[in-house]
């Protein structure tokens, strides 16, 4: 049922689903391994889909923890409600661009772990910046974020397709970014592990600089 639903939603609205099948158990394990779940009080998941990573998170989180799941697709939200009757689970049917207000209105001001399945290649630079600008104030020095990216991931920018340089993007906002590849997933994917460290500063929140124009009259090489 979850595979059929995921594939149907991927075909119907790939822009928000960003995949045609759920994450494999191997990818879910790689996403969870770096996260400090044993000590976590508040964990966040972006883009749960049908819950492959959600299930793994709930199996690792302490009984007193909360898992806040952002999922924009209402069909996935209904599936998660029916299949994950866990009191630790808080389902939020909203865009991650609203994450700051959604967290604060529920009384949360600190996040210990983040697992993101967002299709960052389908988002604009403005959306990237809004997302991380609103997320970083909730993170502390021991918070860890994981994000995966399919090996063929492309980004549509200025009418052209190009490969998304995710390490560079994440490096704008996090002090440390490491990666590993998970071959046993369809398709294979990179998993990026991000630590805030000491880079949660004003520089981390600056809008990415626009490309400078060439001075008039300078010859192109």
Per-residue pLDDT of the chain (221 residues; tens, 9 = 90+): 555 554 454 444 444 444 435 678 899 999 999 999 999 999 999 999 889 999 999 999 999 999 999 999 999 999 999 999 999 999 999 999 999 999 999 999 999 999 999 988 888 889 999 999 999 999 999 999 999 988 766 555 555 555 678 999 999 999 999 999 999 888 889 999 999 875 554 444 554 444 444 444 444 44
The CA-based angle 99-104-107, given to 5 degrees, is 135
Judge whether 86 lies within some domain.
yes
Query: Is residue 60 within 8 Å of residue 52, measured between CB atoms?
Result: no
Domain extent, residue 83, equals 24-204
With respect to residue 71, please indicate whether it lies within any of the assigned structural domains.
yes
Residue 198 has what DSSP assignment?
T
Neighbours of 39 (CB within 10 A): 10
DSSP assignment string, 87-156: TTEEEE-S-GGGHHHHHHHTT---EEEEEE---GGGS-HHHHHHHHHHHGGGEEEEEEEEEEEETT-EEE
Q: What is the CATH number of the domain that holds 100?
A: 3.40.50.150
Domain annotation covers residue 8: no
Q: Could you tell me if residue 212 is inside a domain?
A: no
Whether residue 12 lies inside any domain: the answer is no
Split into its structural domains, the chain has a count of 1
CA atoms within 13 A on the CB side of 206: 10
In sign, the C-alpha dihedral spanning 159, 160, 162, 165 is: negative
Distance CA 131, CA 133 (A): 6
Please indicate, yes or no, if residue 188 is contained in any of the structural domains: yes
pTM, 2 dp: 0.80
Q: How many CB atoms lie within 10 A of CB 52?
A: 19
Residue 114 lies in a domain: yes
- Cα gap 164→168, rounded to integer Å: 9
């Amino acid at each position: 049922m979850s595979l059929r639903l995921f594939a149907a939603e991927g075909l119907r609205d790939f822009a928000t689903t960003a995949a045609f099948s759920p994450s494999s158990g191997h990818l879910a394990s790689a996403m969870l391994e770096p996260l400090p779940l044993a000590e976590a009080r508040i964990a966040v998941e972006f883009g749960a889909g049908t819950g492959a990573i959600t299930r793994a998170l709930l199996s690792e989180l302490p009984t007193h923890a909360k898992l806040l799941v952002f999922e924009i697709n209402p069909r996935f939200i209904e599936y998660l409600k029916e299949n994950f009757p866990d009191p630790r689970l808080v389902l939020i049917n909203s865009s991650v661009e609203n994450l700051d207000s959604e967290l604060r209105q529920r009384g949360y001001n600190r996040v210990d772990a983040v697992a993101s399945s967002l299709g960052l290649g389908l988002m604009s630079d403005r959306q990237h910046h809004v997302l991380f600008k609103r997320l970083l104030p909730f993170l502390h020095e021991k918070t860890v974020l994981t994000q995966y990216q399919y090996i063929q991931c492309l980004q549509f920018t200025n009418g052209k397709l190009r490969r998304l340089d995710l390490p560079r993007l994440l490096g704008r906002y996090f002090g440390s970014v490491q990666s590993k590849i998970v071959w046993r997933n369809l398709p294979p994917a990179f998993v990026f592990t991000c630590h805030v460290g000491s880079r949660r500063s004003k520089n981390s929140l600056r809008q990415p600089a626009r490309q400078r124009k060439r001075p008039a009259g300078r010859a192109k090489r």
